Structure 1
C-alpha cells in the first residue's frame, strides 16, 4: 500500500514517529516527510536514520495551516501524531492544548482535502473515551472532527485509531520507574489500585497499519490491549533491577487522572462491532455513506464498556511483555 507513496507524519520525532518511520521504510515509499516543530529532535532523528534520502524533515507547527498545506503537496497518506499529550500540561494550559489538539487537527483535515491526500490516519487515546481531563477532551474533539470530515465533498478518507499506553514512549511510566529505582531507591505511584492498558510500540504500529489498510473511513478502530496494575508493574521492574530495599510510596492521583482507563465507553458500546481478535470498531452516530452497510455482517459487542480493570496480566505476563519490549 505504501510502495512508491509520499507520506507525511505530523509530530514524527516522538517515540511513535521513530517506530512508524522505521516500519514505513520497509514498504519502500517514495518519500516520508517528518513534520514537527522540534529542531533538536529532527537533527537527532536524521542522524539515527543515517540521513536516509527518503526522509525529508520539515520544521513546522500544525497550528499554522499554510505550513501544513505546503507540506502536504503531493502527499498520499498522513499519519497525524502531533499533539500535546501530557495530562498535567494540558490541565495547566488548556488553551494551548485546544490550539494544538483541536485547531491543529482541523488544519490537518483542511490541508489534506486541499491537497487531495488519499487517507488521513489520526492516532487517538483511551483518554478520549468518556474524558475526565482536558487532554482526553481535546483528543475526543479531534476524533469528532476526523469522523465528520468523511461527510465533506472530498475523496480523502479519514480514520481514527484509539489505543492505550504504549511501552517506552516519551514520559512512559517504565522510564520513570527505572530512573527512580536507580537514582532514588524508591518508586512513587499515584494509587495502588490504578490500572492501565499497555502494548509494545512495535505491536501498536502493526495494528495502526492494519487499520490503515482495512478501514473505510469514519470509524474508530479500538485496539484490544492487555491490562495491568501499575503496582504489579513496579514490582516486576524492582525484581528485574536486582536492587534490594526499594520502597514504594503513594503520591495520590493527579488532577484529571482516572484509577481505571476505558478504551470504549458505555455509550460507544451501543454502536461498536467485534471486528476481529485485535480490534473493535466504533461506528459513528452520524451518517457516512456506505459505512454501516460495510460492517452490517459483524455482530455488535456484548460489553458495557472496555475497562482496564478487567483481565489483568499476572506478574509473569508483565515480565514477558517487558522482555519483548526490551525493557528488562
Structure 2
C-alpha cells in the first residue's frame, strides 16, 4: 500500500507522528512529508532520523489553506494528526482551538480533494464522545467533517480513528507524574475516582495502519482499550520508581474534564460492529453501499456504551501495561 507512495503527516513532529514515521519507513515509501509549525521540533526530528533521505520537512500551519494545499501536491495518503489537545488550554482559548481543530481539518479535507489524495486518516479522541469540553466539541466537528467529506469526492476516501490516552506522549500524565516522583514532589490528582483509557504508542500506530489498509471511507475505527483509575496508575508508578513516600493531593476536576471517558456513545452502539478481536467500527447513520457491503455481515456490539469505568485494570495489570510501554 505504501511502497513508492508519498505520505503527508500533519503535526508529524509529535509522539504519534514520529512513531508513525518509523513504521511507515519500513514500507519503503517514496517520501514522507512532515508538516508542522515548530522549526525546532523539525530540526530535532531530522537529527533523530539521521537526515533520512525519504523524509521531507515542511514548515506550515493547518490553519493556512495554501500551505496545506501545497503540502498535499502529489500526495497519496494523509495522516491528519495536527491539533490543539490540552483540555484546559482549549477551554481558556476556544477561538484558537476552533481555528486549528475545525478550520484546520476543513483545510485538510479541501486540499486533499483538490490534490486527488487517495485516502485521509483523521486521528480523533475519546473526548469527542458526549463532549463535555471545547476540545471534545472541536473533535466532534472534525469527525463529522471528515465523514461527510466522503460525499464530496468520488476519488478521495476519509476515515476517522478514535482512541484514548497514549502512554508517554508529550504532556501526558505518565511522564508528568514520573518526573514529579523522581523529584520527590507531591502529585496533583484531580479525583481519586477518575478513570481513563490507555494504549501504548505501538498499539496506536497499529490501529492507524490497519485503518489505512481496511477503510473504504466513512467509518470510524475504535480500538478495544484498557482502562484504569488514575489513582491506581499513580500508585503503580510510585511503587516502581521510588522507595520514598510520595504525597498524592486531590485537587478537584479541572474545567472541561470528565470523571470518566467514553469511546462509543449509547447513540452509536446501534451502528457499531465488532471488527476482529481488537477493534470496533462505527458506521454513519446513512452508510454508503460500499460500507454496508463490507460491514453489515459482522456482528453488532452487545453493550449500551463503552466507558472507561466499565472494566478496570488491577494494579498488577497496570504494571504490566506500563512495562510494555517502557515506563517502569
Note whether the superposition's TM-score is higher than 0.5.
yes
* Secondary structure, counterpart of 2:44 in structure 1: helix
> Distance between the aligned counterparts of 1:126 and 1:171, measured in 2?
17
* Secondary structure, counterpart of 1:290 in structure 2: helix
Deviations 1:231-290 (A, max 9, x none): 010000100112322111101000111111000000111111111211111110134342
Preserved contact between residue 190 and residue 254 of structure 1 (Cα < 8 Å): yes
> Distance between the aligned counterparts of 2:165 and 2:16, measured in 1?
11
> Distance between the aligned counterparts of 1:291 and 1:178, measured in 2?
44
Preserved contact between residue 194 and residue 259 of structure 2 (Cα < 8 Å): yes
- Alignment RMSD: 0.9
TM-score by length of 2: 0.98
* Secondary structure, counterpart of 2:26 in structure 1: helix
Name 1:6's counterpart in structure 2: 6
Name 2:171's counterpart in structure 1: 171
1:185: how far off?
Answer: 3.0
TM-score by length of 1: 0.98
> Distance between the aligned counterparts of 1:286 and 1:86, measured in 2?
32
Q: Does 1:320 pair with 2:320?
A: yes
* Secondary structure, counterpart of 1:82 in structure 2: coil
Point out where structure 1 has 5 or more consecutive residues left out of the alignment.
Answer: none
1:1-328 equivalent positions in 2, closer than 5 A:
1-328=1-328
Preserved contact between residue 272 and residue 283 of structure 1 (Cα < 8 Å): yes
| 4+ runs deviating over 3 angstroms | none
More deviation, 238-247/281-290: 281-290
* Secondary structure, counterpart of 2:69 in structure 1: helix
More deviation, 32-41/173-182: 173-182
* Secondary structure, counterpart of 1:27 in structure 2: coil
- What is the aligned length? 328
> Distance between the aligned counterparts of 2:183 and 2:244, measured in 1?
13
Preserved contact between residue 150 and residue 288 of structure 1 (Cα < 8 Å): no
> Distance between the aligned counterparts of 1:242 and 1:90, measured in 2?
34
Preserved contact between residue 195 and residue 261 of structure 1 (Cα < 8 Å): yes
> Distance between the aligned counterparts of 2:207 and 2:99, measured in 1?
28
Preserved contact between residue 113 and residue 154 of structure 1 (Cα < 8 Å): no
Deviations 1:60-92 (A, max 9, x none): 000111111111111000000000010001101
Preserved contact between residue 182 and residue 242 of structure 2 (Cα < 8 Å): no
> Distance between the aligned counterparts of 2:319 and 2:153, measured in 1?
49
